[in-house]
């Protein structure tokens, strides 16, 4: 059933030049996460235990990112299918350099506001698209039977990079964090430029000379029709349609929790950068093994559906424990469930990849990244003001984790859809479409 034996790790050798720069990118990005809470809250609300302004701005930024990513992720996925994975990866990995450079230069209030604006633009371009383009690249170079293991390796490396990033943040002096992050992000960009091979052959495109307004209208029409075709592709597949519901409700709950969690822990238990790093490392260390080793080994025996259901069940326990946290040690126990719920990502990628034609990988993965963006847009609208209200003295009752407990309901809905998922649909959809629509699935070029 496609189990990846240790002796067969050579089938993943084409991924080396993808995984090395991705690890540098994720380490550099994660390195800043624990520090940013202290920097932003300390600048906007100096001397305050909680910072409602930082919570509201974080929620606003996440909502703005969600609005634009609905279209940008789908567009970048389509362009990756048409113009190649490499140029799109170069764009997405480089964009975080600019906002981090602002904070490396100055951490005054105007600089923090400038960072928030630039980081919002960066997240619109890179937050979800890096993963969907990387998964599409992996599907290009790895056999279909080994894709689940490849995706597990990618997500496992993501977790390993988070652990290393958080370890560096824990021991690196705060004044050096942003400089080291920028250096890693630049090295990542140069590595991709020099070593990564392109996997998409760009077909010759006829050149039509026309006015700029006519060309713009034609480009917009082609993108619109391409997006409509992608939506039709998703809705015509029972598997992809079900996974879209699961992805939306799961991401709705998890994004809402992650957008306020660190501020919630800071306000309730007085956690700082060190505790944030420790909690994130608890998840990361276990996730490395669960994704890179356990997932490829157990997947052939139980299938992606069972793993997906277990991951969703763990995410519900994770949310309930955080919402009901009654002592400083409870968040550490809750974070340990991340070792299991993190498998949602690899199992979802595997199901989606099997249900889509090879030439549709970029646009389909981009579509699901867009769904995650919709959830990322909606959840902070409720979670940010609700969390800020319940951790304040104006709350009608003493239940500081009420908003997090409410978010667990969304994961419960996702679990119900996962239990109803027909695990065999993915293989049937992928096999049928690969023969019948290989020629029909070629999208119109961006400029013709």
For the entire predicted model, the pTM comes to: 0.70
**Does 124 have pLDDT greater than 80?**
yes
pLDDT reported for residue 183: 93
- Better-scored residue on pLDDT, 265 or 113: 113
**Residue 6 counted as domain residue:** no
Q: Give pLDDT tens digits for 70-111.
A: 778 778 877 887 788 888 899 999 998 999 999 888 888 888
pLDDT reported for residue 7: 39
**Residue 9: pLDDT band by 50, 70, 90 thresholds?**
low
pLDDT reported for residue 207: 45
pLDDT reported for residue 414: 92
Range of the domain at 108: 12-197+229-436
**Residue 350 counted as domain residue:** yes
**Residue 204 counted as domain residue:** no
Q: Please check whether residue 71 is in contact with residue 231, taking contact to mean a CB–CB distance below 8 angstroms.
A: no
**Residue 206 counted as domain residue:** no
pLDDT reported for residue 445: 37
pLDDT reported for residue 310: 93
**Does 143 have pLDDT greater than 70?**
yes
**Does 263 have pLDDT greater than 80?**
no
**Residue 217 counted as domain residue:** no
- 87: its two tokens: 């140029």
Q: What is the mean pLDDT of residues 236-250?
A: 86
**Does 418 have pLDDT greater than 50?**
yes
Long-range contacts: 252-255, Cβ < 8 Å, 24+? Answer: 252/375, 252/378, 252/379, 252/407, 252/410, 253/315, 253/319, 253/379, 253/407, 253/408, 253/409, 253/410, 253/411, 253/414, 254/315, 254/341, 254/407, 254/411, 255/62, 255/372, 255/375, 255/376, 255/379, 255/380
- The Cα 433–Cα 436 span in angstroms is 5
- Better-scored residue on pLDDT, 383 or 2: 383
Q: For the beta carbon of residue 108, count every other beta carbon within 10 angstroms.
A: 10
User: What does pLDDT average to over the chain?
Assistant: 78
pLDDT reported for residue 270: 72
pLDDT reported for residue 432: 43
**Residue 249 counted as domain residue:** yes
* Least confidently predicted of 117-121, 369-373, 409-413, 420-424: 420-424
- 214: its two tokens: 């006519």
User: What are the CA-CA distances from residue 99 to residues 119, 161, 255, 268, 448 (Å)?
Assistant: 5, 20, 22, 30, 35
pLDDT reported for residue 203: 54
pLDDT reported for residue 312: 93
- The Cα 243–Cα 368 span in angstroms is 9
Percent of the chain exceeding pLDDT 90 equals 11
pLDDT reported for residue 188: 93
- 215: its two tokens: 């060309």
**Residue 218 counted as domain residue:** no
Q: What is the mean pLDDT of residues 379-395?
A: 76
pLDDT reported for residue 25: 92
Residue 403, CA atoms < 13 Å, CB-side half-sphere: 27
- Number of domains composing the chain: 1
**Residue 219 counted as domain residue:** no
Q: What is the mean pLDDT of residues 190-205?
A: 78
CATH code where residue 389 lies: 1.20.1250.20
Which burial class, exposed, middle or buried, applies to 20 when counting CB atoms under 10 A from its CB (0-12, 13-18, 19+)?
A: middle
């Amino acid at each position: 059933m496609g189990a990846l034996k240790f002796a067969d790790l050579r089938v993943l050798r084409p991924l080396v030049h993808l995984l090395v720069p991705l690890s540098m990118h994720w380490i550099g990005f994660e390195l800043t996460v624990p520090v940013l809470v202290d920097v932003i809250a300390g600048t906007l609300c100096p001397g305050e235990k909680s910072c409602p302004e930082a919570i509201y701005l974080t929620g606003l930024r996440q909502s703005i990112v969600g609005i634009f990513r609905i279209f940008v992720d789908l567009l970048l996925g389509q362009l990756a299918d048409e113009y190649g994975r490499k140029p799109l990866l170069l764009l997405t990995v480089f964009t975080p350099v600019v906002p981090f450079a602002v904070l490396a230069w100055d951490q005054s209030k105007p600089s923090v506001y400038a960072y928030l604006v630039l980081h919002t633009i960066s997240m619109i371009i890179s937050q979800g698209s890096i993963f969907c383009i990387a998964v599409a690249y992996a599907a290009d170079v790895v056999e279909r039977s080994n894709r689940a293991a490849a995706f597990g390796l990618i997500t496992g490396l993501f977790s390993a990079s988070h652990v290393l990033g958080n370890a560096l943040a824990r021991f690196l002096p705060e004044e050096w964090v942003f400089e080291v992050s920028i250096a890693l992000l630049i090295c990542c960009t140069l590595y991709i430029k020099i070593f990564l091979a392109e996997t998409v052959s760009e077909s010759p495109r006829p050149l039509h000379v026309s006015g700029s307004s006519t060309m713009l209208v034609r480009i917009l029409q082609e993108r619109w029709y391409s997006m409509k075709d992608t939506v039709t592709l998703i809705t015509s597949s029972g598997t992809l349609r079900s996974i879209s519901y699961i992805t939306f409700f799961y991401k709705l709950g998890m994004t809402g929790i992650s957008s306020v969690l660190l501020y919630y822990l800071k306000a309730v238990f007085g956690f700082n950068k060190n505790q944030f790093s420790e909690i994130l490392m608890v998840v990361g260390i276990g996730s490395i093994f669960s994704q890179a080793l356990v997932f490829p080994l157990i997947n052939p025996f139980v299938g992606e559906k069972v793993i997906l259901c277990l991951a969703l069940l763990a995410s519900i326990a994770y949310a309930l424990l955080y919402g009901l946290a009654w002592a400083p040690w409870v968040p550490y126990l809750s974070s340990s469930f991340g070792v299991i719920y993190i498998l949602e990502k690899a199992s979802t990628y595997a199901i989606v990849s099997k249900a889509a034609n090879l030439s549709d990988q970029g646009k389909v993965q981009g579509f699901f990244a867009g769904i995650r963006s919709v959830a990322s847009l909606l959840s902070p609208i409720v979670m940010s003001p609700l969390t800020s209200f319940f951790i304040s003295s104006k709350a009608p009752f003493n239940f500081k984790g009420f908003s997090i407990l409410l978010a667990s309901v969304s994961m419960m809905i996702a679990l119900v859809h996962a239990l109803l998922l027909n695990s065999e649909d993915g293989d049937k959809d992928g096999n049928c479409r690969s023969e019948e629509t290989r020629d029909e699935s070629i999208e119109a070029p961006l400029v013709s």
